[in-house]
Structure 1
Amino acid sequence: MEGIENFIDKIQSGGVNFWIGVFIGLIVILLSRFGLHKLIIKNIERKRTQLFLITIVNWLTLFILTLFFFSYFSKTAFIYETLFVFGDTDITVFLILTILFSVILAIKFSKAVRQFILPVIYDRYDLDRGMRASMNTFFSYFIVLMAVIVSLSSVGFNLSSLTVFASVLGVGIGFGLQNVMSNFISGLIILFERPIRVGDRIIIDDKIANVEEINIRATIVRTRVNERMIIPNSFFLEEKFVNRSYVDTRLRIPVYVDVAYGSDVELVQQLLLDAVYELKQDLWPNIADEPNPRVFFEDFGESGLTFSVWFWIDSQSDEREFRIPSDLRFKIIKKFRDNQIEIPFPQRDVHVIADNMD
Structure 2
Amino acid sequence: MFLKAIVYAIAALTAISFLSAESVVFAVMLLAVGVAVVVTFSDVLRNLGSELYVRSSKAFRVGDRIEIDGVQGRVSSMTSLGVVVETLRRERVFIPYTRLAHTKVVNRSGVYGVSLRLEVRVPKTYDVGKAREMIASALQVVREDLISEPSVTLRRSTESFYVFNVVLDVMNVGKVEEVFERVFLELKSREPGLDVVS
TM-score bucket (shorter structure): 0.3 to 0.5
Highest Rg: 1 or 2? 1
After TM superposition, the score normalised by the length of structure 2 is: 0.47
More strand by share: 2
Larger RCO: 1 or 2 (CA < 8 Å, sep 6+): 2
The structure carrying a bigger helix percent of its residues is 1
TM-score normalised to structure 1 length: 0.28
